[in-house]
Amino acid sequence: MSNTISSPENQNESRLNVLIIDDNEQITKMISSFLDMSNHECTVVNDGKEGVELIKTHQFDSIVLDLAMPECDGYEILDTLQNEDPSQLSKIIILTASNIPIETIRKFKDLGISSCLQKPVDIDQLLSKITDITN
Amino acid sequence: MIKIKQALFLIFGITSFIIFYIGFLNYITTQDESVGLVILISSAIVSVGTLFATFYISNNITKPIELLAKRMNEFSKNNFITKNSLDDKGILELQTLNKNFEDMAKKVGGALEKEKLLNLNLQEMDTRKTEFMSMISHELKTPIMPIMGYLQMLKKEDMMGKLNEKQLDALNEITISTQKLQKLIQDVLVAEKIDLGKLSVEKEILDAKILVENSYKAFYPICENKDVKLIIILKTSEMVFSDVDRISQVFSNLISNALSFVPEKNGVIEIGTIDNSENVTFFVRDNGIGIPEDMQKNIFKKFYQVDTSSKRKKEGSGLGLSICEGIVRHLGGKMWVESKINQGTTFFFDLPKAKIPLENFKSFKNSKNSKK
């Protein structure tokens, strides 16, 4: 928590465009206001299907994805992307409250997803993952 | 081992042969031929009769016994007997035996059936409990996320503005409580995983010395803050084949525990390894209040607290040690405690040494690759 990567001055040169897909509105609101205050662009969807549509139609620098969601969950989104636009997979940061088994994390890595964060996540850590991905 | 049938035939066979033989001898040697012939014929009839009687008796004794043995065998295998295949004729004692066995089997079978049902119910309840706990912990993790997020943001002057000292104080208190809550939820989840045998471990070759040093580094600042001496004592430094994160979790729980029990002045915590031929034994020792002997056997039980009085000074869920023990067990080791009142407590745990180099190096490579 002592991490201070998030100071706005650092981020001014590179304003990032981040998509957040999570069915929990409190979490999306918190992350988006944090990214907003860190001078990044942030788009929020609380529904998986909408998320997929947005990924198809818009260009994002990074995508923060929750796994457990009603109707269209994170795994489904990953499946769709793998079939239709695998290049998007490397932009994804998984953010989940469930414990992900090591085998699944390995599978994610094989897909090109390097970050799998556990809720509750340190927001500075989340931001540093987001900037890592875009670099 | 001899069968009743064989024994009977042997005994009565010899007997009938002797009877016949005496009759035959008598016939040869006697002067009165007609008397000799009568004796010979009657001895022949007696010996044949004896053989038939033997056959009849042996059938009546051995058949029911064989059948009873078969039924017993059946019962011991399936806890269930098929319907009576003995007829009501035959030897009374064996009939009684069969009847008694049947009664007993019915009772035992019924009891076993009940127990099976009860066990199934218990298992189902236990699974339900575990599912519920895991669901609850999962649901609890989610709201903690925005709480922690906003707390972090509030501490950033450039985002939320400068807070005054009282506000910062309040913020810090909320942070501490939230962190405790978070730790508790994590502990409950890990304890449930251990219960289910689903704790995931990723083993690799690890240097015992580095494991101890890592925990030292993690806890040195906290100990210094509390004026507690933290000392490393390494009697051996070998390689273990284990999971680095889980071991640091064990060390972290044990050192945190020790920290809350050392005396306020001159508190000392020693961590390290001791020599052991088969395993590497790690330990965490404190010079705290100690654990009464009669309570030592219970401290690894879930939710067990040495001091359960409402006035107890130390807080905690009672999960820490049971988690440590569970993790060590999952890593193929064992954990134990030695303690004396007012002298201190030492927790030991064994971890298997890295043995067959070739195989282990393979997995070492694998785990390295997978971490990239």
User: What secondary structure does DSSP assign to B229-281, as a single string?
Assistant: EEEEEES---EEEE-HHHHHHHHHHHHHHHHHHS-SSSEEEEEEEE--SSEEE
- What residue type is B126 in one-letter code? D
CA distance B294 to B341: 11
Q: Give the mean model confidence (pLDDT) for residues A9-28.
A: 81
Q: Is B148 part of the contact surface with chain A (CB cutoff 8 Å)?
A: yes
Domain boundaries, chain B: 4-90, 204-308+315-371
CA distance A64 to A77: 12
Find chain B residues with C-beta within 8 A of A97's C-beta: 138, 141-142, 145
* Range in A16-30, B89-103, B329-343 with the lowest mean pLDDT: B89-103
Find chain A residues with C-beta within 8 A of B244's C-beta: none
pTM of the entire structure? 0.63
> Is B146 in contact with A102 (Cβ distance < 8 A)?
no
B224 to chain A, closest Cα gap in Å: 19
B367 pLDDT band, cuts 50/70/90, is: very low
> Do β-strands B335-340 and A41-45 pair in parallel, antiparallel, or remain unpaired?
unpaired
- 8 A C-beta contact, residue B130 and residue B195: yes
pLDDT digits (tens, 9 = 90+) for B139-195: 888 899 999 999 999 999 888 899 999 999 999 999 999 988 888 888 888 888 888
Of A1, A24, A119, which has the smallest distance from its Cβ to B152's Cβ? A1
Of B142, B150, B152, which has the smallest distance from its Cβ to A119's Cβ? B142
Q: Is B200 part of the contact surface with chain A (CB cutoff 8 Å)?
A: yes
CA distance B15 to B19: 6
B300 to chain A, closest Cα gap in Å: 24
Per-residue pLDDT at B63: 80
Q: Is A122 part of the contact surface with chain B (CB cutoff 8 Å)?
A: yes
Q: Is A101 part of the contact surface with chain B (CB cutoff 8 Å)?
A: yes
Of B138, B152, B153, which has the smallest distance from its Cβ to A97's Cβ? B138
Per-residue pLDDT at B314: 60
pLDDT digits (tens, 9 = 90+) for B293-306: 888 888 888 777 66
Respond yes or no on whether the N-terminal peptide bond of residue B146 is cis (omega within 30° of 0): no
pLDDT digits (tens, 9 = 90+) for B231-252: 999 887 788 888 888 999 999 9
Q: Give the mean model confidence (pLDDT) for residues B249-274.
A: 90
> Is A99 in contact with B193 (Cβ distance < 8 A)?
yes
> Quick one: which of A38, A37, A40 has its CA closest to A18?
A40
Per-residue pLDDT at A37: 92
Find chain B residues with C-beta within 8 A of A128's C-beta: none
Give, as one character, the DSSP assignment of residue A101: P
State chain B's mean pLDDT as an integer. Answer: 84
B144 to chain A, closest Cα gap in Å: 6
B369 to chain A: nearest residue by CA? A106
pLDDT > 70: percent of chain B: 90
> Is B149 in contact with A30 (Cβ distance < 8 A)?
yes
B354 to chain A, closest Cα gap in Å: 22
Per-residue pLDDT at B80: 74
* Range in A15-29, B19-33, B216-230 with the lowest mean pLDDT: B19-33
Strands (E), chain B: 204-207, 228-234, 239-242, 267-274, 279-286, 335-340, 344-352
Of A38, A98, A123, which has the smallest distance from its Cβ to B149's Cβ? A123
Of A97, A106, A124, which has the smallest distance from its Cβ to B152's Cβ? A124
CB contacts < 8 Å between A and B, how many? 61
Residues 21-80 of A with CB under 8 A from B: 24, 26-27, 29-31, 33-34, 37-38
* Residue B82 confidence (pLDDT) above 80: no
> Is B200 in contact with A102 (Cβ distance < 8 A)?
yes
A37 to chain B, closest Cα gap in Å: 6
> Quick one: which of B153, B181, B154 has its CA closest to A124?
B153
Most confident of B1-5, B102-106, B107-111, B334-338: B334-338
CA distance B44 to B51: 11
B201 to chain A: nearest residue by CA? A102
Give, as one character, the DSSP assignment of residue B351: E
Q: Give the mean model confidence (pLDDT) for residues B308-322.
A: 67
pLDDT digits (tens, 9 = 90+) for B38-54: 888 888 888 888 888 88
Per-residue pLDDT at B297: 83
- Could you tell me which CATH class the domain A16-134 is placed in? alpha beta
CATH topology of domain B204-308+315-371: Heat Shock Protein 90 (3.30.565)
pLDDT > 90: percent of chain A: 50
